[in-house]
Amino acid sequence: VILPKSIPFKGQVLNQIAAYFLNSTRDIVPNWLVSNPDPNAAFGLKCNPIPIEMVIRGYVAGHLAREYKSGKREICGVQLPEGLKENQKLPEPIITPTTKASEGHDEDISINEIIKQGIVSKELMTELCDITHKLYQRGQEMANERGLILVDTKYEFGIFDGKIMLMDEIHTPDSSRYFYSKSYQELLENNLPQKQLSKEFVREWLIQHNFQGKDGQTMPNLPDEFVNEISERYILLFEEITGKPFERLPQENLNQRIYQNILNFLSNVK
């Protein structure tokens, strides 16, 4: 869903984190990003999208935790053992794909069903799974260096010039969940919520206010205090994951600045 209020600096945070990780994973798989003509903008290659999202999970958190608590022991064709607790590390990362809906919600789907329906060939699916595991491992390594745990994330791929290409953003709080390494084990053992950096707290706030994006539900009004909290959390994640200070650029005439920087960039593109 689209929130009723814009979140200050969110676009800049997402764009800059995505660029940071896209430039750090080019040795694993090529990606769409060509340049960032503005802190809020990216210029890249237009791919033919593969209509699935490759979700990979290393912990029982978020959607997986909710499904497990409801009694499900098979998620997207993956069998889960009994006795898992929320936020516990899985024996090994699992891929739980979703369909890529043009509108509405994405839906869980198994790898076998993707192949059976002819959405993706078996050969291509095998390659996507391999790349997904490698990207997740790289993301975990980079997070660990910063005292964080990359809990789960998703990747989108497309085809460009006949080859697989990583699309969209990666490892940002819009697609990923991070825990703090230092407090993880103690909080887990005491069955306490993990200190985390992700947009899960926005989902939780909406759920508490009786909104899950279902038919007949009305989006609650977001108080200014909560909007500012969202903004500060996004900025915090940028600084935590990159180790760089975030530059809070002026928000006045934002569209004009972006537009002008893109025009300047395009005038030099041959």
Cα(209)–Cα(95) distance, integer angstroms: 31
- Tell how far CA 158 is from the center of its chain: 17
State the pLDDT at residue 104: 55
Average predicted confidence (pLDDT) for the chain: 92
Q: Mind listing the pLDDT tens digit for each residue in 128-180?
A: 999 999 999 999 999 999 999 999 999 999 999 999 999 999 998 888 999 99
Q: Which residues contact 38 (CB under 8 A, 6 or more apart)?
A: 257, 258, 261, 262, 265
Report which of 182, 173, 169 is spatially closest to residue 232, judged by C-alpha positions.
173
Structure tokens at 246: 């975030």
Largest Cα–Cα distance of the chain, in whole Å?
59
Is the pLDDT assigned to residue 124 strictly greater than 70? Answer: yes
State the pLDDT at residue 226: 92
Backbone angles phi and psi of 173, in degrees to 5: -65, -10
Report which of 129, 140, 136, 131 is spatially closest to residue 77, judged by C-alpha positions.
129
How many C-beta atoms lie closer than 10 Å to residue 226's C-beta?
Answer: 16
CB 61 within 8 A of CB 86: yes
pTM: 0.87
